[in-house]
Amino acid sequence: MGLPDFKVALAFASLNFWGNWVRGLLVALKKILMHNEKDGFPITALREIKLLKMLSHKNILHLKEMAVERREGRKKPSMYMVFPYMEHDLSGLLENPAVQFTEPQIKCYMLQLLEGLKYLHENQILHRDMKAANLLISNRGILQIADFGLARPYDEPPPLPGKGGGEAKREYTTLVVTRWYRPPELLLQLRRYTTAIDLWGVGCVFGEMFKGKPILAGRSDLNQAQLIFGLVGTPSEDNMPGWSSLPGCEGVKNFGNKPGNLSEVFKDLSPAAISLLAELLRLDWRKRINAIDALRHPYFFTQPLPAQPGELPRFEDSHELDRRKFHSQRAAMPPAPAGGSVVVFQELPASPGQMDMQTKGVHSEDLMIIDPTNLTTPEINKVLKTQIEPYHPGKRKVASRLSLRCLSTNRGLRAKVDQDAIEVTKAALPYGPRAI
């Protein structure tokens, strides 16, 4: 969930469900931002919702519900995607000086990441924003791939063992993947790219887990290419066939002939680890290792063996958004569609016949809207105390400001929304939305 367009709110609430005090479960809400309401529901959000409703895998973040924030008067309701709350993202953990990953822990996370990516690619989906901040980790040791705002269906056949990324027949936009994790073929403006772009990001994450920081932190696209070719060698027709015919090749033809220094930069790694890293960071996208073959790599079968998720240590909650409060350095982002905000809220357990999660007497405390553009000293713009109104079936009532109703996707999304949203959401949700 990217910045800087996001606002972040933390709401800790005491919940009363049908008059009985209960202990709710934390969930994360991703707000769908409407930069221009005349354009209707953002197409990227519609695509993300539809994809997430199709996916079901232990290493893919699960879309639980949709939520609506009721507004006063004629203001359109705000809409949220509701996800399970994960205590960490990988970027936040790596920024925590108290956290040191062991190699069994790194192997455990890598196996889960590759399993999730293998599932995506088998279902012909490109993630297109693979980076440490989009890998969420629970205190049970489970890693899940998140943020499908740039993901899209992929028209080519799924990858096959021993066949690398293969070839693509159609063109896609190159304005994807955060710069530090962007593969060289995208920097050179290859439009017929493949699942190999996601595997390059996995390689960057793999190296980052050993170094504790991004391994290719370019200041510009040109500088990014310089860093890549300095690490793995400059392109040639031998190691990257066809590179000289790509639209972006002119800017890098004067880089000279560099052999790369991957083994030197990662000299503390075992030969098996360097071998896997080199396969993931291979310049030739056609031969870059795919998730199927990466899972079979000898690295995962040599000592020390991967830890089991339940054996991993528990850490204090740590996210990329937390660390950005204290660091002024920004990761350079490519042009990308608008995202949303993340809200931590509490979910009411649904019982039979109560799937609309009707609330009664719910109070939230210390709702903070934080300006993410001020990364050194975040400014709290508003501190609000709100009451979430009960929902009365059959009664048309405008709820109070900032009130939320979490609604089961199995019952449809009950809100007055744009027709565009209704049409696409019908495809994403089993029964479609209904107006009240």
Other Cβ atoms less than 10 A from the Cβ of 18: the count is 12
Residue 236 confidence (pLDDT): 92
Other Cβ atoms less than 10 A from the Cβ of 278: the count is 16
**pLDDT beyond 60 at 430:** no
What is the chain's Cα-based Rg?
23
Q: How far is CA 50 from the centre of its chain?
A: 15
Residue 352 confidence (pLDDT): 33
Q: Work out the average pLDDT over 201-224.
A: 97
What DSSP assignment string belongs to 246-303? STT-GGGTTS------HHHHTTTS-HHHHHHHHHHT-S-TTTS--HHHHHT-GGGGSS
The region of weakest confidence among 64-68, 140-144, 157-161, 224-228 is 64-68
State which of 222-236, 329-343, 354-368 shows the largest mean pLDDT.
222-236
**pLDDT beyond 90 at 164:** yes
Q: Work out the average pLDDT over 146-174.
A: 92
- 33 or 324: which leads in pLDDT: 33
Residue 382 confidence (pLDDT): 29
**pLDDT beyond 90 at 400:** no
> Predicted confidence band at 24 (pLDDT cuts at 50, 70, 90)?
low
For 251, how many CA atoms within 13 A lie in the half-sphere containing its CB? Answer: 15
**pLDDT beyond 50 at 427:** no
| Residue percentage of the chain with pLDDT more than 70 | 66
- For residues 338 and 51, what is the distance between their CA atoms, to the nearest angstrom? 17
The region of weakest confidence among 30-39, 129-138, 357-366 is 357-366
> Predicted confidence band at 71 (pLDDT cuts at 50, 70, 90)?
confident
- Could you read off the pLDDT of 103-151 as tens digits, one per residue? 999 999 999 999 999 999 999 999 999 999 999 999 999 999 999 999 9
- For residues 200 and 282, what is the distance between their CA atoms, to the nearest angstrom? 8
Residue 22 confidence (pLDDT): 32
Distance (Å) of CA 208 to CA 10, 217, 223, 320: 29, 11, 19, 14
- Could you read off the pLDDT of 93-103 as tens digits, one per residue? 999 888 889 99
Domains of the chain: 8-84+348-428 (no CATH), 88-311 (1.10.510.10)
Residue 37 confidence (pLDDT): 59
Residues designated catalytic: 129
The answer, as to whether pTM is greater than 0.95, is: no
**pLDDT beyond 60 at 431:** no
Mean of pLDDT over the chain:
73
> Predicted confidence band at 323 (pLDDT cuts at 50, 70, 90)?
low
CB 221 within 8 A of CB 333: no
**pLDDT beyond 70 at 355:** no
CB 257 within 8 A of CB 234: yes
> Predicted confidence band at 324 (pLDDT cuts at 50, 70, 90)?
low
Distance between first and last Cα of the chain: 31
- For residues 343 and 369, what is the distance between their CA atoms, to the nearest angstrom? 10
Residue 401 confidence (pLDDT): 29
Q: Give the position of tokens 């071998």.
A: 275
Other Cβ atoms less than 10 A from the Cβ of 136: the count is 24
Residue 273 confidence (pLDDT): 98
The region of weakest confidence among 161-170, 232-241, 261-270, 391-400 is 391-400
Cβ contacts of 255 within 8 Å, gap of 6 or more = 225, 226, 229, 234
DSSP β-bridge partners for residue 30: 81, 342
Other Cβ atoms less than 10 A from the Cβ of 57: the count is 16
Q: Work out the average pLDDT over 391-408.
A: 32
**pLDDT beyond 60 at 397:** no
- 13 or 65: which leads in pLDDT: 65
